Structure 1
Amino acid sequence: MPSELTLGDIIGDNAVRFPDVPAYIADGEIRTHSQLLRRATELAAALGERGLRRQDRVAVLSRNGIRFGEVLAMGQLSGIVVATVNYRLAVPEMGSILRDAAPRVLFFESEYLAAVEELRPGLTGVDLYVCLDAPAPGAVEYRELLAAGADRELPFSAVAADTACLIYTTGTTGRPKGCILGQRELRRMGAVLNGEMRSGSSDRAMLVMPMLHIGAIAIALGVHARGGTAVLHRQFEPAAMLATAAADGITILHLAPTMLQTLVDVAGPDSPALAGIRTVVYSAAPVTSTILRAAMAAMPNAGFLNLYGQTEVITSGLPRELHRTATEDDRRRLTSVGHPFPDTEVRIVDGDGRECPPGQPGEIVVRSAVMFRGYWNNDRATAETIRDGWCHTGDVGMFDTEGLLYLVDRKKDVIISGGENVYSVQVEEVVASHPAVAECAVIGIPDQRWGESVCAVVVPVEGATVDADDLRDHVAARIARYKAPRRTIVVDELPKLPTGKLDKKVLRARYAGT
């Protein structure tokens, strides 16, 4: 009986069928599918020479780039597990992830050398530091490591049952949770998205969402499933992206809704740079109908696809056929997150686990062939999330009578700002450590640019004054700057439930329009 296909088999197949088609383009560099196979093989061989084996772990601290893609491909071929680290985190947060993942090798860009030097004393399990883009003290340069594997064969190969990646999503308590994503599930995910995007070897998808998150990885897998090209940008720069779209023949865009809005605003009407776009994928945050209609008007020849899911499981999509605005029903459907994907079951359940009828909100629970396998080193969180084979998302949603899924609210108290999850409990802990703060609550308030922005509602210590700029700096010095409050509201007391818990629902209603 033939063995089950792996992600590595797709890389090998592309190298044979589309050898000269670029797999990745970034910063003026091109890596064809045949080159990607060769270099990923050499990297695996070099790591094998240093004692790594299948299912050992490496970590990557990097912005989007070709070498990041090569490290991912190396893992997909060899079965070495790749853990991603969010470069936007504060150094202590990076350290928590790296200590949990316990990689034997840390790949990093020189931009983060200072962070790596600060982390190094606590990373006793790291045997090798590899700088991806330059010589660095205490590290091997990437090209030197690659040269050590030149002309070698793959030392070991992945199997479908292997773990492929650890993608970290910070828990509501602030403890990092590494989602275990397997070869089998990621291969199926790529196939599903390839079908939804209708992508082929001539397609070029521009990725600006960080490849450390599952969204960008999933789109790259979807494009590569049929030999297409991922064009990588290090950060969101609308003018540069429009230039790339025109120069490199971009056919697929993947953006968060806030990015989509900004790109359309910068492009202006009838932009020739957007004329070749035939598919627009948007995900990572709720989208307003205003933003979506403007984008559809700016790219009338493009099909739009809304993806809903989490790192744990990709759930549903609103396909291009339902992106219409002609009637009131059409406009209502635009606010949905579509139908469940193939091999995916979705239920809406109440607090007792009973299934809710259409129109009644409840928790979204999912059972899928592309679901994560659990949380790394966290059996308790795994048991809380995966129950009887169903992933309990914590999101509130409902079905309509047509079977379309609607997202009513995001996970309780999670703020989604610019496509990044900000967990209020973690921010509250830091805000509360400010000497002038007696009590606080952190909520998300609507923000035209970022979707939501972080707002701290604080009760000051008697006789003290809370300065918004000072509080923002206090938070940014301890956790990632994007988690710091953009607005601070000072109050005499916070609303509470009879149990004594903060009533954030009241706060959100009170300050949503301010």
Structure 2
Amino acid sequence: MKFTDYFAYQVRMRPQDPCMTDDSRELTYLDADRDSTALAAALGDLPPQSRVAVVADNSVDFLLLDLATTKANLVLVPLNTRLNPAEWAQLIDHAEARIVFVGENYCAAMETVRTRLEHVGSWVALGAVDRPGWTAAARLTPGAARPDRAGCGDDHDIDVQLYTSGTTGQPKGVLHSHDSMTMSISQWAQMVEPWDGLRNGRSLVVAPLFHGAALIMWRTTACWGGHVQTQPRFDVDAVLDAAVRHPISWTFLVPSMIHACLERIPRREPADYRFNLIMYGGSPIAEVILRGALGDLGRHFLQIYGMTESLLTTTLTPADHVRALDGHPELLLAAGRPVAGVGLVIHPSDGAPAARTVGELVVTCPNPMIGYSKNDEATAAILHDGGLHTGDAGFIDADGYLHLCGRIKDMIVTGGENVYSTEVEDVLHAHPAVADVAVIGTPDPKWGEVVTAILVARPGATIDVADVVSFCRDRIARYKVPKRIEIADRLPRNSMGKLLKHQVRERYCTPVALS
């Protein structure tokens, strides 16, 4: 089934209930169905499975486009708004998009690369502003083909083409079918319902819709009859204002966003922030942040782990978070346990499956990607032997919790010993002067590689290198202690909070070590 099948059921059951809201308008289920069907009709001349790219902030228009492409049996290709125009052009060309929708904030930047993309038949500006040379979305007219092709095609057809965040290099176009995305909606609903009351609830979508998590979050809400409130991008005051005006059933934030909310609350007028469930991902949450957030921000916290290729894989439940604060803080470093239908296997470097040893995480799941667009070699490298080989290093403890140790390629070999960067990062995150950290291996003529830590200081704090080394020696083996420490103003992270280690390596991979 397609998500629009579930959406159509909600239209019948609750036509006048609020469905989607942004800063400028609110649509009922009936409104959203009518407007998305009209947009699907305007796209009706495109051949089935044509790519429709979009570069835009979160909005009702974005949600309507998602509905419309599914109804018209087209493939949505949402692109990262933080890329530069040359990168947009590269991905639009790779996807062979026939039509490109662009938010009004990005039209001027896109103008600089439009002439390179001769295969694009139409450029559509989202928003109310008419621009010369662009078609306004509101002025699109129905094509000659059937206006609604929701009953056409196959559930195994491609639904979305999601480009990976590029945390390890060049982005790849991940293909997911309608079956895959609908299965993920079911997994999300099972995950959220016990803590939220998903039906008739209100979700706040702040994470960008070009990420799979935000896309599935809005779809899950709509398929269960909830009300989706979008914000164009993360703004700490806007997020807090939303939770004051209306109870928010659930939202998704990364830990840095949660931290920003906590820092902002004391500077605002006293208020009751009504977040019922706050989901987060991208990185673990610090114990001190969780304690403050449970008291001041939300009732329940839930961590999710997954990849664009596998979608939702594991969760650390609200009950796990309570247990973590009740004498088991090590749980906060875990990625959780598998969601329904997912199996986890750890493959050590010799290729044989093993328990409680560090190795590559292999996922078996009912909804893996179809593959990478135009990249059979990369597809074969990750999908083989009945599993999805994630490239993440980790282990599974006696209670079934997955613990991630970083990327396999991030393992540091120093003096013949293996060091996983995440283990060292976890220790450094606990240092009172450290706000952010990246650990990499850098070349060294004596050791092969040395453990190198790049640290960002907390506001008002000063990092003493000798103190950091002593702090580490008290907590981890000496060969894991950083031999080189650098101080930075900030570290590169993507919009979901993931550290961009390939950029860190480009900056710091020079053979300079502590004596």
Alignment CA distance shift 1:444-1:263 (3 Å): farther
- Which residues in structure 2 correspond to 1:267-278 (within 5 Å)? 267-268=265-266, 275-278=273-276
Equivalent in the alignment of 2:474: none
Alignment CA distance shift 1:135-1:486 (3 Å): farther
1:269 Cα deviation (Å)? 10
Q: Which amino acid aligns with 2:148?
A: L
Q: Deviations over 1:135-156 (max 9, x none)?
A: 12211100011x5479x84145
Q: Which amino acid aligns with 1:409?
A: G
Equivalent in the alignment of 2:418: none
1:486 Cα deviation (Å)? 9.6
Paired-residue identity, %? 28
SS in 1 for 2:275: coil
Equivalent in the alignment of 1:445: 454
Q: Is 1:389 matched up with 2:406?
A: no
TM-score, normalized by length of structure 1?
Answer: 0.77
Equivalent in the alignment of 1:195: 190
Match for residue 22 of structure 1 among 18, 24, 45? 18
Q: For this pair of structures, how many residues does the alignment match?
A: 439
Cα distance in 2 between the residues matched to 1:273 and 1:181 = 42
Equivalent in the alignment of 2:292: 294
1:259 Cα deviation (Å)? 0.3
Q: Which amino acid aligns with 1:126?
A: V
1:349 Cα deviation (Å)? 1.1
Q: Which amino acid aligns with 1:346?
A: L
SS in 1 for 2:174: strand
Q: Which amino acid aligns with 1:31?
A: L
- Which residues in structure 2 correspond to 1:101-120 (within 5 Å)? 101-120=95-114
Alignment CA distance shift 1:448-1:217 (3 Å): farther
Q: Is 1:54 matched up with 2:52?
A: no
Q: Is 1:132 matched up with 2:123?
A: no
Alignment CA distance shift 1:90-1:269 (3 Å): closer
1:70 Cα deviation (Å)? 0.7
Q: Is 1:363 matched up with 2:360?
A: yes
Cα distance in 1 between the residues matched to 2:316 and 2:508 = 41
Equivalent in the alignment of 1:98: 92
Q: Is 1:84 matched up with 2:78?
A: yes
Bigger drift between 79-88 and 196-205 goes to 196-205
Q: Is 1:63 matched up with 2:57?
A: yes
1:38 Cα deviation (Å)? 1.4
1:303 Cα deviation (Å)? 1.9
Alignment CA distance shift 1:326-1:194 (3 Å): closer
SS in 1 for 2:333: coil
TM-score, normalized by length of structure 2?
Answer: 0.77
Alignment CA distance shift 1:487-1:236 (3 Å): farther
Aligned partners of 1:78 and 1:158 also within 8 Å: no
Q: Which amino acid aligns with 1:322?
A: D
Cα distance in 1 between the residues matched to 2:122 and 2:353 = 51
Q: Which amino acid aligns with 2:289?
A: I
Alignment CA distance shift 1:398-1:273 (3 Å): farther
Cα distance in 2 between the residues matched to 1:327 and 1:382 = 41
Aligned partners of 1:251 and 1:277 also within 8 Å: yes
Q: Is 1:186 matched up with 2:181?
A: yes
1:235 Cα deviation (Å)? 1.6
Match for residue 248 of structure 2 among 250, 260, 271? 250
Q: Deviations over 1:292-345 (max 9, x none)?
A: 222223246x22111001111121001122111477653222321111011111
- Which residues in structure 2 correspond to 1:2-13 (within 5 Å)? 5-13=1-9
Cα distance in 2 between the residues matched to 1:171 and 1:237 = 24
Cα distance in 2 between the residues matched to 1:321 and 1:448 = 32
1:411 Cα deviation (Å)? 6.0
Aligned partners of 1:77 and 1:158 also within 8 Å: no
Aligned partners of 2:57 and 2:209 also within 8 Å: yes
- Which residues in structure 2 correspond to 1:78-477 (within 5 Å)? 78-133=72-127, 134-145=129-140, 148=142, 153-155=147-149, 157-171=152-166, 174-198=169-193, 199-268=197-266, 275-299=273-297, 302-313=299-310, 314-325=312-323, 330-358=328-356, 360-410=357-407, 412-413=409-410, 445-447=454-456
Q: Which amino acid aligns with 1:140?
A: T
Q: Deviations over 1:156-200 (max 9, x none)?
A: 545311111111015567433001011101111111111211143
Aligned partners of 1:323 and 1:330 also within 8 Å: no
Cα distance in 2 between the residues matched to 1:284 and 1:484 = 16
Alignment CA distance shift 1:200-1:54 (3 Å): same
Q: Is 1:494 matched up with 2:494?
A: no
Q: Which amino acid aligns with 2:366?
A: A
Bigger drift between 179-188 and 402-411 goes to 402-411
1:257 Cα deviation (Å)? 0.8
Cα distance in 2 between the residues matched to 1:295 and 1:142 = 40
Q: Which amino acid aligns with 1:390?
A: G
Please report the RMSD computed on the Cα atoms of aligned residues, expressed in angstroms. 3.5
1:23 Cα deviation (Å)? 2.3
1:224 Cα deviation (Å)? 2.0
Q: Deviations over 1:405-443 (max 9, x none)?
A: 112224645999xxxxxx999xx9xxxxxxxxxxxx998
SS in 2 for 1:334: helix
5+ long unaligned stretches in structure 1: 417-422, 429-440, 451-467, 473-481, 496-506
Alignment CA distance shift 1:87-1:444 (3 Å): farther
SS in 2 for 1:64: coil
Cα distance in 1 between the residues matched to 2:326 and 2:319 = 16
Aligned partners of 1:8 and 1:158 also within 8 Å: no
SS in 2 for 1:96: helix
Aligned partners of 1:6 and 1:158 also within 8 Å: no
Cα distance in 2 between the residues matched to 1:344 and 1:201 = 25
Equivalent in the alignment of 1:435: none
Q: Which amino acid aligns with 1:62?
A: A
Q: Which amino acid aligns with 2:188?
A: L
Cα distance in 1 between the residues matched to 2:207 and 2:148 = 30
